[in-house]
Amino acid sequence: MEKLDLSQLDNEEKALEIRYVIAKYIRYWPWYVLFITLFLILTFLFHRYTVDEYEVSGSMMIKTNTSPEARILDRSNIFSTGINLENDILRLKSKGLAREALKKLHFDVEYYAKTNIKAIELYDRSPIRVEVDWSHIQMEGVPVQLEILSANTFRLAKEEVGFMDFNSAVAAGDESIYDKTYEFGEPIETARSKFTVHLVNPGRTNEQVVFRLRNPNALEDSYAKSVQVNLQNEYSSVLRLSTTTTVVEKGRDYINALMESYIGFDLNEKNKIQENTLAFIEDQLGLLEDSLQQKERELQDFKVRNKLLDVSAEFSNILGKMNTLDEMNAEIDYQLDYFEQIRAYMVQKSKDFSDVIAPSVIGIPDPLLNGLIQTLVTLSQDRRKLLATVNENHPEVIKIDVQMEKVQDALFENVVNLIENTKQRKASIQQDIRVYDAEFATLPESESEYSGIFREFKLRESLYTYLLEKRAEAGIAMASNVSDNAILDAARRGTLIFPKKQQNYGLAIVLGFLLPFGFVVVRDIFDETIKDQRDLKKHFMIPQLGIVGYSLKETNKVVLDFPKSAVAESFRSLRSAITYLASGKQTKMILVTSSVSGEGKTFTSLNLASAMALSSKKTVVVGGDLRRPKLASYFGETDRVGLSTYLIGKIEAEEIVMPSTHENLWFVPSGVIPPNPAELLQTPRLTEFLDYLQSRFDVVVFDTPPMGLVSETIDLMRLFDINLYVVRQNYTVKDHLVMINDLFNNKQVKNVYGVFNGIVNSGYHYEGYNYGYGNTYLYSQNNKYMYNYYGDDLENKKKKIKKSQRNIFEKLGKLFKVK
């Protein structure tokens, strides 16, 4: 025997479950389409009336290296490799730098196109340009409508509030300038306004432009806060600058101007050293130039007065040595003066060393002194940059102050030593000069006097030439000076950040699907009624014998009045199943019950009996529900006499069995509602009545009270061959089936079978027909084999479907109709 593969059955069951869930919820597709369409329209309108926002960004490289001297003196920085750009970030976000950037731009006036949809800023596409005098009082933040009348004239008016403009809190404008005609280039001045309008594009006449003045101070605050500065990479010194704007060109220009202003600020800091050097050299040149001219005039006067053209060659060697000594003495005085200035700075203990001149610039070749001063100047510049954004108590400022104190102590000690050494050198040179002066005393008086004048002239000339060279070098250095920072990527394009159109449309589709889907799922979760055959199988332990479709007919006698309908066919299928189950019984005794009233037990009893009668079997249907009788009304009779009348002994059995208008079909009315229906149904007369019916009819269908509400039905079920328990779709509550399940499991009732009534959607679909559970198949109305047999029913169904579809499209058309 081949072994059964349980895993394959498991997979088939899972696939069946998936198909069932899909089929269960896919039938609500019109709601999905409706909500998705609605959300897409709302999203489109949101995009239509929302101003787009873009992110514009650029990047720049920042110099972060620290001088070796500073790292040696600051032991905490010797082995540190971390990148600290907080000072540069704070500087880039400062109001001062924002002010410098805005000076290069024309942001104090905003231009907008006249539109009722949303605000569209024109920026550089504006046909006009407004020049504002901010030294005068201005109407700030008030939109003014300008109409270009011609190439020479325009008209100002108060902007009209649009339908979509809900902002009523707008400052009052200057009423004195409205509704007047002006000429382009003509200054407009009132108590609250002073500006001039220029026409940039003369070809755009008859257009309307709205402009608004923005206070420069408010702009500084706004743009300083709008800029975001972040590290491009954790291990790099590249900063990324970004801002959010509604006009890409405007954001691009501001980011680029901000980066250029930062580079200009850094370059100005570096040029201060060269500027101070040039100022020092100019002062020295001014003093030396007067002295040189005086000595030049003395030399010329001496030559003219003594008619002396040259000095004796024998004294030229001594004169050259004396000139050399004089130059060295003057250079020492120059250095000594510089050292004294440095010591004076050290005594003051100042924090600003921007005026200190590096010794290498003025020709003092001392590497240690030059390195210390350069480090001190750099620290002073960093401190000044930092104080532009923070106060003196900031940890970074305190850290720089500690470094500067260490460098100052080392520098002060070095300068004191240099002053002492320089004074000793000067004393030695002066001693040599006195020796050579004594030799010159032996010269003739005229030659000695000439030599002294000539020596002083050459000394001043050489110093003057030296200073000219240094001034030229400083000028060249200043002209070729560049910033250590550089723009890496200039801002060019913008990225749309709000609204995210593709994301919003996708979200609209998801929400449009999830809202109705979620509603249906939640409804199903909290809905305790039986929804379909799978639901019935989970909560109903009794075998299912048949399925009865939902009847749209206006009569309850569907089998008799509409024998070709699908509902009639379902009762025929139920008849066949009952015939098979009770094949050994001469008279088939059938009881029909349910959980509560309204589940269709009387409807099932009547039509099942009708189906039995149509098969040429004498059939009687008994109205056993003595509390709420309905059977007699289905046949157009009253309940004056009936089962209750018989049970109390007022009438015989033959008198309550009434024939119907259809062959082989009889019925027994319930009779007048008694005060004790439960006791009546348990009397021996009921058993006698059933025996009477069993002897005279082939089929007896007994309609009983709902089993979940009364107790006598359980006792009645033991008297019948087949007990049908009716469950109605979307009506029977799951908890109501607990009683019959317990009775069936405990074997307190036998021969109980379920009938699923009122089926609208029987489950999941396969190629034209719906599968149920158990041994019964319910063919759907689109099965090709049913077209001929159930033609009338199908045609009516098709007409109703088409009519409902037309109604849906008409409602949708009215809903989205543009007025």
Query: Mind giving me the DSSP string for 328-368?
Result: HHHHHHHHHHHHHHHHHHHHHT-S--TTPPPTTTTT---HH
Give the residue among 750, 742, 758 at the shortest CA–CA distance from 589: 750
CB 671 within 8 A of CB 630: no
| Residue range 609-618: mean pLDDT, rounded | 94
pLDDT digits (tens, 9 = 90+) for 497-554: 999 999 999 999 999 999 999 999 998 888 889 888 888 888 899 999 999 998 888 8
Following CA atoms 568, 571, 573, 574 in sequence, which dihedral angle do they give, to the nearest 10 degrees?
A: 180
CB 50 within 8 A of CB 542: no
Q: Which residue has the higher pLDDT, 703 or 64?
A: 703
Identify the pLDDT of residue 778.
38
Q: Which two tokens stand for residue 738?
A: 């607990």
Give the pLDDT band (50/70/90) at residue 23.
Answer: confident
Give the residue among 790, 814, 630, 782 at the shortest CA–CA distance from 705: 630
Identify the pLDDT of residue 172.
61
What does the alpha-carbon distance between residue 802 and residue 260 come to, in Å, rounded to a whole number? 71
Q: 241 pairs with which residues across the strands?
A: 58, 229
Give yes or no for residue 236 having a pLDDT over 90: no
**Range of lowest pLDDT (307-311, 372-376, 653-657):** 307-311
Give the pLDDT band (50/70/90) at residue 69.
Answer: very low
What predicted TM-score, i.e. pTM, was given to this entire model? 0.62
Strand locations in 640-744, DSSP E? 658-659, 665-668, 699-703, 722-728
What values do phi and psi take at 602, rounded to 5? -70, -40
What does the alpha-carbon distance between residue 646 and residue 685 come to, in Å, rounded to a whole number? 8
CA distances from 154 to 38, 127, 208 (A): 45, 12, 10
CB 750 within 8 A of CB 763: no
What does the alpha-carbon distance between residue 757 and residue 552 come to, in Å, rounded to a whole number? 13
**Identity of the highest mean pLDDT range in 55-59, 443-447, 595-599, 682-686:** 55-59
Q: What single-letter DSSP state applies at residue 451?
A: H
CB 548 within 8 A of CB 756: yes
CB 674 within 8 A of CB 648: yes
Give yes or no for residue 313 having a pLDDT over 60: no
Cβ neighbour number for residue 596 with a 10 Å cutoff:
15
| Amino acid occupying residue 682 | Q
**Range of lowest pLDDT (143-147, 220-224, 290-294):** 290-294
Give yes or no for residue 221 having a pLDDT over 90: yes
Give the residue among 515, 534, 518 at the shortest CA–CA distance from 526: 518
User: Hey, what long-range contacts does 422-427 have (CB within 8 A, 24 or more apart)?
Assistant: 422/332, 422/335, 422/336, 422/339, 423/336, 425/332, 426/329, 426/332, 426/333, 426/336
Cβ neighbour number for residue 525 with a 10 Å cutoff:
8
Give the pLDDT band (50/70/90) at residue 222.
Answer: very high
Give yes or no for residue 156 having a pLDDT over 80: yes
CB 146 within 8 A of CB 211: yes
Identify the pLDDT of residue 807.
59
Between the two ends of the chain, the Cα-to-Cα distance in Å is 76
Identify the pLDDT of residue 786.
36
CA distances from 585 to 73, 177, 581, 686 (A): 116, 108, 9, 20
Give yes or no for residue 701 having a pLDDT over 90: yes
User: Hey, what long-range contacts does 637-643 have (CB within 8 A, 24 or more apart)?
Assistant: 637/669, 638/669, 639/669, 639/670, 639/671, 639/672, 639/673, 640/671, 640/672, 641/669, 641/671, 641/672, 642/668, 642/669, 642/670, 642/671, 642/672, 643/668, 643/669, 643/670, 643/671, 643/689
Within 13 Å and on the Cβ side, how many CA atoms surround 176? 9
Q: Which two tokens stand for residue 365?
A: 């070749």
Q: Which residue has the higher pLDDT, 237 or 753?
A: 753
Identify the pLDDT of residue 314.
45
pLDDT digits (tens, 9 = 90+) for 40-54: 999 999 998 899 999
Give yes or no for residue 412 having a pLDDT over 70: yes
**Range of lowest pLDDT (46-55, 363-372, 411-420, 796-805):** 796-805
Give yes or no for residue 342 having a pLDDT over 80: no
User: Hey, what long-range contacts does 281-290 have (CB within 8 A, 24 or more apart)?
Assistant: 281/362, 281/467, 281/470, 281/471, 281/474, 282/471, 284/467, 285/464, 285/467, 285/468, 285/471, 288/460, 288/463, 288/464, 288/467, 289/464
What does the alpha-carbon distance between residue 433 and residue 258 come to, in Å, rounded to a whole number? 61
CB 123 within 8 A of CB 251: no
Q: Decide: helix, strand or coil at residue 802.
A: helix
What does the alpha-carbon distance between residue 724 and residue 716 come to, in Å, rounded to a whole number? 12
Give yes or no for residue 7 having a pLDDT over 60: no
Concatenated DSSP letters of 494-560: EEEEES-HHHHHHHHHHHHHHHHHHHHHHHHHH--B--SHHHHHHH--SPEEEEEEPP-SS-S-HHH
Burial 415-431 (b: 16+ CB within 10 A, else e): beebbeebeebbeebee
What values do phi and psi take at 721, rounded to 5? -75, -40
Cis peptide before 675 (omega within 30 of 0): no
Give the residue among 647, 654, 706 at the shortest CA–CA distance from 675: 647
Q: Which residue has the higher pLDDT, 251 or 639?
A: 251
Burial 134-159 (b: 16+ CB within 10 A, else e): eeeebbbebbbbbbbeeeeebebebb
What does the alpha-carbon distance between residue 416 and residue 420 come to, in Å, rounded to a whole number? 6
pLDDT mean across residues, the chain: 80
Identify the pLDDT of residue 769.
34
pLDDT digits (tens, 9 = 90+) for 168-204: 444 567 889 999 999 999 999 999 999 999 999 888 8
Q: Decide: helix, strand or coil at residue 683.
A: coil
What values do phi and psi take at 346, rounded to 5? -65, -40
Identify the pLDDT of residue 573.
93
Alpha helices in 598-696 (DSSP H): 601-614, 631-634, 643-647, 653-656, 677-680, 684-696
pLDDT > 70: percent of the chain: 80
pLDDT digits (tens, 9 = 90+) for 447-506: 666 667 777 777 777 778 877 887 787 777 777 677 778 899 999 989 999 999 999 999
Give yes or no for residue 270 having a pLDDT over 60: yes
Burial 762-791 (b: 16+ CB within 10 A, else e): bbbbeeebbebbbebebbebebeebeeebe
What does the alpha-carbon distance between residue 739 and residue 703 come to, in Å, rounded to a whole number? 19
Q: At what angle do helices 501-526 and 6-26 cross, to 10 degrees?
A: 110
Identify the pLDDT of residue 780.
35
User: Hey, what long-range contacts does 231-235 have (CB within 8 A, 24 or more apart)?
Assistant: 231/83, 231/85, 232/59, 235/83
pLDDT digits (tens, 9 = 90+) for 73-131: 444 444 444 456 888 888 899 999 999 999 999 999 999 998 878 888 999 899 999 99
Cβ neighbour number for residue 644 with a 10 Å cutoff:
25
Give yes or no for residue 9 having a pLDDT over 70: no
| Amino acid occupying residue 32 | Y
